[in-house]
Structures are given as structure tokens and as C-alpha cells.
Amino acid sequence: MHAVREWLKHARSVAVLTGAGVSAESGVPTFRGNNGLWKRYRPEDLATPDAFARDPKLVWEWYDWRRSLIAQAKPNEGHYALAELEKRVPSFSLITQNVDGLHELSGSRNVLNLHGSIWKVRCTGCERESVDRQTPLPEIPPKCECGALLRPGVVWFGEALPPRIWQDAETATRSADIFLLVGTSAIVYPAAGLVQIAKASGARVVEINIAETVLSDRIDEFLQGRSGELLPQLIA
């Protein structure tokens, strides 16, 4: 912990990759390490193009439920600590796999949303994208004015990441002196691949998680604990 604080004090460029764990203390459920969350389905079976093609109503019911939870959630001390860190480091990028928008709400500026936003909807017909914050949705599955089905504006398993955002994330990772990995199981690619890029580019990689992950013994420092507690300590 002491070493990491020193590194951060002198860092010129910091990149952070966050996952669902950073929002867990805000009451937003993570995908893994939790069970019995929703009916009898696993998130991995619902967040896919196939699932949506098979049963758009079921997928939208799940998203509507997640939207209702996220609508009540507030940023926690971990989100705020990252927003504060951004003010102190000359070059700072916050790459997130989360779709909840809590980083922006806590004041973070340079946020790269790798997996989109749960508040966005996109037409499967005319491809128009818009923001819809209604929850519960008045109609499930929701439809576009053109008559086609709307889909959540998120990146599903098996889909490509938005190319520009991914490029920016790679660039930020390559130039980072310190790469922080926070609250992610680090098994969803390509996001997890940023850790290898960071290492190969000579960054110090620091992980914060309540439990070890597949990457924990391949990085410079593993800090075990809740991000809402450890992140404020790191910048205190």
C-alpha cells in the first residue's frame, strides 16, 4: 500500500480499468461471485445477441430490472477517489467495463465506456441511438418509431467493442506509468488484454479486488479489499 501511494504521487500518466466490483458497494450487483440474483438465468446467458434474438422480452425484463437498481444507486467512495485522482495526475484515463454511468456521476471526466451504457437504446432496424432513462419501461420489449425492436445500448458477449473507444483505451494503457485494475474478474476479453499491454509497455500494474483473480500473481502489487475503502486510502 505504501509503495503504491508513492508511485501514484509521482505518476505522470495513469490508466485505470474498472469492473462491476467498483459499483458493488453502491448496491449494483456484479455478474460473478453472486448467485440467485435473477430468476433462474445466468447473466452470461442473457447478455448475448443470441439470447436477444431468441427472447427479446426476457432480455429486456432483465435489463429493466438492472436499470431500476442502477437508477437508485449513488457513486461510492471508490468512484469519488478515482475522480479526485484524475485532478492530480497530468494524464489520466478511466477505462470502464461498467454500464451504470456512476463514474461520470462522481465527477470523472475522461471516461472510456468500453461496454456502452445501460441508459442507451439502439434501434435494430434504423440503428438510431438515443438515451432513455425511464424505468420501469412502459412497454417491454420497447419499439422504435420505425416499428423495429429497440435493443440495449451495451456491448454483449461476442460483440465487438466500439473501435474508437478501444483505440483510446489502448493508447492510454500504452502510455501509462501506472495501471490500476479495480473490481474486475479480468476474464472478459478484450478488456482484460489491456493488462498485458500495460505490462509490456512497462507500467506498474496494481490490482484492487476483494478476492484474487487469474491475474493477481502476474502483476506488481495486489491489494486485497473493497475498492470503496482502498481507493480513498491510496490517495489520502
User: Which residue numbers are catalytic?
Assistant: 115
| 115 touches ligand NAD (CB under 6 A) | yes
Query: Which region, judged by CB under 6 A, interacts with ligand NAD, from 1-9, 19-27, 170-178, 194-202?
Result: 19-27
What cell numbers appear for 158 in the block?
461476442
Angle in degrees, CA 175, 178, 180, rounded to 5: 115
| 103 touches ligand NAD (CB under 6 A) | no
Please pick, from the candidates 4, 15, 30, 152, the single residue that binds ligand NAD as defined by CB under 6 A: 30
| 106 touches ligand NAD (CB under 6 A) | no
| 177 touches ligand NAD (CB under 6 A) | no
**Which of Zn ion, ligand NAD, none is residue 4 near (CB under 5 to 8 Å by kind)?**
none
Query: Which region, judged by CB under 6 A, interacts with ligand NAD, from 2-10, 51-59, 136-144, 221-229?
Result: 221-229
Please pick, from the candidates 8, 121, 144, 180, the single residue that binds Zn ion as defined by CB under 5 A: 144
| 19 touches ligand NAD (CB under 6 A) | yes
* Helix and strand totals (H; E) in the chain: 10, 9
Sign of CA dihedral 44, 208, 210, 200: positive
Q: Which of 156, 99, 149 is nearest to 122 (CA)?
A: 149
3-state secondary structure of 179: strand
Distance CA 40, CA 35 (A): 9
Specify the residue for cell string 412497454.
139
| 21 touches ligand NAD (CB under 6 A) | yes
How far are the Cα atoms of 23, 112, 184, 231 from residue 226, in angstroms, in the given order? 10, 22, 12, 8
Q: Which of 221, 182, 35 is nearest to 98 (CA)?
A: 182
What cell numbers appear for 17 in the block?
480499468
| 184 touches ligand NAD (CB under 6 A) | yes
**Which of ligand NAD, Zn ion, none is residue 28 near (CB under 5 to 8 Å by kind)?**
ligand NAD
| 112 touches ligand NAD (CB under 6 A) | no
Binding site for ligand NAD (CB under 6 A): 19-21, 23-25, 28, 30-33, 97-100, 115, 183-185, 188, 208-211, 213, 226-228
